Amino acid sequence: MLVARIVLFAFAGCAVLCAATIPLLLRRLREQTGFANDTSGNSQIVASDTGAGSTLIVRDEDVGVMGKPDYVVQEQIDGRQRLVPIEVKPTRRSRRLYDSDRLQLGVYLLGLRAMAGEGAADFGYVRYSAMTFEVRLTSTLEREIRAAVKAIGLGQRTRVMHRSHNSPARCHACAVRQYCDEAMTG
């Protein structure tokens, strides 16, 4: 099986935003983050996995990742049009960016770079309920994603996967708890 078929994470649901809220989202992102340096206000959504436009599956066959960003926005950056991914997590209230969300956005950045080359931005945004985080595609982030892909590939070839933690709360929230022989109680 090709590693290119690996999807890094099971993305459980996306934010659903109606078309009328998209300009508000873009305005808020600009206000809170200096969103993509586009002061002209000429941002436009070119793809959306939320029903606000056509879906775009981004992929990097060499790394073996793919995904569907909630939004891909075209922005004017340093005089050039660039594609910027945005992932919206409206129920997250954390003041720090989760590593899983950082890696998820990193996958989108790699996919856009592989598909659009110079037309892809080297950053994107993750929006929580009250905070917006900028994620930059660095060599460190790319190494982390490659390591995660490798670990997932090894896990797929392993006959038995053991629980990797001792947290009853984490077990309780696990999507595969009903199939797990090591599920914790409590």
Please tell me the distance from the alpha carbon of residue 147 to that of residue 106, in angstroms, as a whole number.
Answer: 13
Q: Are 36 and 26 in contact (CB under 8 A)?
A: no
Question: Residues of the chain with pLDDT > 90: what percent?
Answer: 46
pTM of the full predicted structure? 0.74
Per the DSSP assignment, residues forming a β-bridge with 48 are: 71
For the beta carbon of residue 162, count every other beta carbon within 10 angstroms: 8
pLDDT at 42: 66
pLDDT tens profile 67-126: 999 999 998 888 899 999 999 998 999 999 999 999 999 999 999 999 999 999 999 999
The residue whose two tokens read 């990742």 is 65
Q: What is the DSSP string of 23-85?
A: HHHHHHHHHHH-GGG-TT---EEEEESSSSS----EEETTTTEEE--SEEEEEEETTEEEEEE
What single letter denotes the amino acid at residue 33? T
Q: Strand, helix or coil at 121?
A: coil
Nearest one of 132, 135, 128 to 31, comparing CA atoms: 132
pLDDT tens profile 155-165: 778 888 788 88
Over 50: is that where the pLDDT of 19 sits?
no
**Domains defined for the chain, CATH in brackets:** 3-179 (3.90.320)
